Chains A and B, each alone.
Chain A
Amino acid sequence: MKKKRSSTFYLLMAPVLLWLILLIVIPHLDMFFRSFRFESDNGAMVFSLNNYLSFFEDQIYWLTFVKTALYSIGVTFLAFVVTFPVAFYLTKVVAKKYSSFMVLLLLIPIWIGELVTIYGWMILLSDNGVINNFLVGVGLIDSPIVMLYTNFSMTIGLLYMSMLFMIIPMMSALESLDDSLIEAASDLGASKWTIFRQIIIPYTTPGIASGGIIVFMLVIGDYVAPNILGGKSSLWFTEQIYNKFLATFNWNEGAAFGFLLLMLSSGIIWLALRLTGQKLEKVGS
C-alpha cells in the first residue's frame, strides 16, 4: 500500500508525534535510564543496580510495595461488589424517568475532585467528626472510636474516589444486555443466582474488566487518600516515591521506584486483560 501522502496527513501527524514522543516516550525512557544511575564514592555518576538493591534490602520499601499491590486489588474487588448492584439498578430496575437524574448524582463527586471529597471524609471520620458524634449521640458507643489515620479510613477514601469510575463502563455493558434473555431464563425456571452467574456476569465481563482496570490504576497510583486519611501506619508506595523526590531529593532512586510502580501496575493490568480476554483499545472506549 504505497501512495503519496497528502500534506494534511503530515499536518495531523506532527502535533500528535510531538505529544507522544516528547511527553510519553522520552520521559519514561529517561526515567528508566535514570534508575540505573548512581553516585559513586568519588561523586561520579556510574551505571549500577544500587537503586534497585536498596529497594530489596530495605524491608519497608518492598513491604509497602507488596501491601500497595494487595490493597489495590482488594479495593478494586470491593468497588465491584459495592457498585455492581447500583449499576444494575440504574439500568434494569429503576423507572427510566428517575435513572438519568440518579446517574447525574454519580458524576458530581467525580467532577468535584478527589482532594475535596477526601477532605470531607477526613472531617466525617475524625475523633470529633460527624460519625463519632452521631454514634455517641445515639448511644451506640460511649467514647469516640479512632477511625481516622487507619487502614480503614484509607480504604474508605480509596473506595470512594475510585468506585464511581467503575459504574459507568458496567452500565454501558448492561444497557446492551437484552432484557428478554433474563425474562426467558426466568420463564424457564432459573433462580436469580443462576441468572446472575450464567447470563449477567458473562455478558458484562468487558464492562467489569475496563471498569476494574481504571479503578485499579487510580488506586495504585493515588497519593491523596493514603496520605491524608492513612496516617503513619498505612504507607502507600506512591508516598515512598514522593519522599524520594520532594523530601530526600534522591531522584535516581525515586526513578527506580517509579519504574517499579509502573511495572507493577502495567503487569497486573496486562494479566487482567489476558485473563478476561480484553484489549487495551476497548478499555479506552
Chain B
Amino acid sequence: MIRTLPCSPLYINGYRLYILLFYVFLIMPLVTICVLAFNDSNFIALPWNGFSTDWFFANTNERLGLFKDTDLMLSVWTSLKTGFCVALLSTIVGTIAALLFEEEQFRLKGLLYFLALAPLVIPGVVLGISILLSSTYAGMYMEDHFGLSFEFLGPSFWLVVIGQFSFGATYVMLLVGARLKKFDRVLEEAALSLRATKLEVIRLITIPFLKPAILGAFVVAFLISFSNFNTTIFLVGSDPTLPVDLYSRIKFSSTPVLNAVSFMIVGFISFAAMISFVMNRNKK
C-alpha cells in the first residue's frame, strides 16, 4: 500500500497502469496540438498530410503563418504588456497586503482578510462583470458631472489590467504570506532594538528574506494574467489579448495557425518548467 509495506503484484501493477493512463490523459491534448502544428493541411484536425512549417512562416493567400500574422503577433504583444503590468501591480500590492496581515494588528482585520481572499471564491465571470459595471458607471458619472472622460474606465487595455490585478494580488499575497510565516521575528526585533525604523526593517531585512517568494509570485501573476479569459473577455477593448483573440478564432475562423500558437505556448511553458526543475535539483 505504501513504500514500506509489501503488496500483491496485481495490486501494484494495476495501480501503475492507472497512473500511466492518467498521465496519458494529461498530455494527450498537448501532444496532439504540437504534432498537428506541423501538419501540411488547411484544417485543424486530422488527416496527417506530411510535415510542414507553413503555419509558422508562410504568407500566401491560403495560409498565413504565425510569424506573418500581424493581428496575432499584436495580440501576443498586448498579452505580454498586460501580463507585465498586472504582475508588477499585483506583486507590489500583494506583498504589501501580506506584510500588513502578517505583521500588524488592527480592527476589522478578519473582515479585510476575508475580502482579500474573496477573489478565490468569486467566479471570474462575476468579477469581470462587476468591475465592468462599476467602472463604466464611474466613467459616465465623471463625464456628466465634471466633463472629464477617462478612457481606462471603459473597456480598454488598462481596464483589463485593473480587472486581472484584482485577483492577481490575492495569489501574490498568499504566496508571499506563506514565506513570511517562516520568517524569524527575532531578526526584526534585533534591528528595531538597534534603532532601525519600521520601514528600514521592512526594506533591509524583511524584503531581502522574501525575495525568492516575491520573484516567484511575480512569475505566477504574469502567467495567470497571460492565460486569463473569463474575466478579461468583459473588460477587453479594441486590442484583444491572446486568449481573447484565440477564442474568437476558435469560434469563427479556425485555421491551423491556432495549432502553431498553441505549440509555441506549450513549448515555452514546458521549457521553462524543465529549466526551473534542473535549477532546483542542482541547488539541492
Contact = CB atoms under 8 A, between A and B. Distances in A.
Contact of A112 (B4, B250, B269): B269
A262 B19 CA distance: 36
Interface residues of B, number: 93
Given A115-B247, A285-B174, A16 B166 contact: no
B105 interface: yes
A30 B133 contact: yes
Given A186-B5, A222-B230, A265-B121, A245 B132 contact: yes
Interface string B22-39: 110111111011001000
A114 B265 CA distance: 12
B75 interface: no
B88 interface: no
A135 interface: no
Contact of B226 (A113, A117, A221): A113
Contact of A92 (B3, B132, B174, B277): B3
A28 B130 contact: yes
Interface residues on A, range: 35 or more
Contacts of B29: 117, 119-121, 123-124, 160
Interface stretch (B106-114, B183-191, B207-215): B106-114
B47 interface: yes
A192 to B, nearest CB: 6
Nearest to B259: A123
A283 to B, nearest CB: 7
A123 B33 contact: yes
A132 B245 CA distance: 28
Interface stretch (B50-58, B59-67, B92-100, B143-151): B92-100
B72 interface: no
Contacts of B270: 108
Interface string A221-258: 11110011000000000100110011000010011001
A249 B259 CA distance: 33
Interface in A19-38: 19-20, 23-28, 30-31, 34
Interface string A249-285: 0010011001101100110010000000000110111
13 contacts: A12-B100, A28-B122, A31-B130, A92-B2, A111-B223, A112-B265, A120-B28, A123-B36, A123-B44, A124-B29, A195-B1, A227-B251, A261-B126
Interface of B: 1-5, 15, 18-19, 22-23, 25-30, 32-33, 36, 43-47, 92-93, 96-97, 99-100, 104-106, 112-127, 129-135, 137, 162, 165-166, 169-170, 174, 177-178, 197-199, 202, 223, 226-227, 229-230, 233-234, 243, 246-247, 250-251, 258-259, 262, 265-266, 269-270, 272-273, 277, 280-281
